[in-house]
Amino acid sequence: MTLQIKRIYEPPSKEDGVRILVDRLWPRGVSKDEAHVDAWLKDIAPSADLRRWFGHDTDKWSEFRRRYKAELDDNPAAVDELKRQIDQSPVTLLYGAKDTEHNNAVVLRDFVSRQ
């Protein structure tokens, strides 16, 4: 399984494989042509309520991870869709957050890698 994460603002590369956006909202300032997104899995992103609650506050990181994992557990169809993609080719999960260590793609990568 080849699974990596990358900010959508970074240039695409051949090593990315299938590029999947895992944010609920389209990132600001990036056109769909520039992004080279192969799939946009909005349903696998954190809920709007969870995203607003977290607000990228690193003090809430542990609780955000717990809550987001619970949402993923309750959303097996979206997780299975992502796993199918990963089984077929290398995948890069794309996200828009500035913080490269505290974002939903980090949690999602770890969640899928452990299953």
Q: What is the pLDDT of residues 5-30, one digit of tens each?
A: 999 999 999 999 999 999 999 999 99
Per-residue pLDDT at 115: 80
Tens of pLDDT, residues 58-83: 999 999 999 999 999 999 999 999 99
Number of domains in the chain: 1
Check pLDDT > 70 for residue 37: yes
Question: Structure tokens of 101?
Answer: 């260590």
Domain that holds residue 31: 3-113
Shortest CA distance to 43 belongs to which of 13, 9, 82, 4? Answer: 82
What does each C-alpha distance from 86 to 4, 50, 93, 112 come to in angstroms? 10, 26, 10, 10
Q: What is the pTM of this model?
A: 0.94
Mean pLDDT across the chain, nearest whole number? 96
Q: What is the pLDDT of residue 81?
A: 93
> Model confidence over 79-100: pLDDT tens digits?
999 999 999 999 999 999 999 9
Sorted by sequence, the CB contacts under 8 Å of residue 107 that are 6+ apart come out as 64, 65, 68, 69
